Amino acid sequence: MVRAGPVWSPWRDDATDALSINQPPGAEHWLGTDFLGRDVYTRLLLAGRISLIIGLLTMVMSVCLGYLLGALSGYVGGLTDKLIMRVADLVMTIPRVNRC
């Protein structure tokens, strides 16, 4: 649904309407409008798309970096392997942030 956001919403993401400022949710604007008259539903779809793109790009970059470092460590071995493993151990000591 986020990927096809412009298809689902009749409004442009930057379209403003001075007559629809701070409108509550209704038939025309499903989640209402903000202080500039922009449709909140359309902006929510756009923000979801951006978040998905950032998440996917981060995942692809981390997989590529991990693959390259693992291949380098396995192929070269020795001091390079030990250095990469110590850096990995150092990164794993950083505490996780839990959001409850």
Neighbour tally for 76: CB within 10 Å: 12
Question: What's the rounded Cα separation, in Å, for the pair 70 and 91?
Answer: 15
Alpha-helical regions (H) of the chain:
5-8, 40-76, 78-92
20-41 pLDDT, tens digit per residue, is 899 999 998 889 999 999 999 9
Nearest to 2 by CA among 37, 58, 45: 45
49-90 pLDDT, tens digit per residue, is 889 999 999 999 999 999 999 999 999 999 999 999 999 999
pTM for this one?
0.73
Q: Supply 4's token pair.
A: 């096809």
Q: Supply 15's token pair.
A: 């379209």
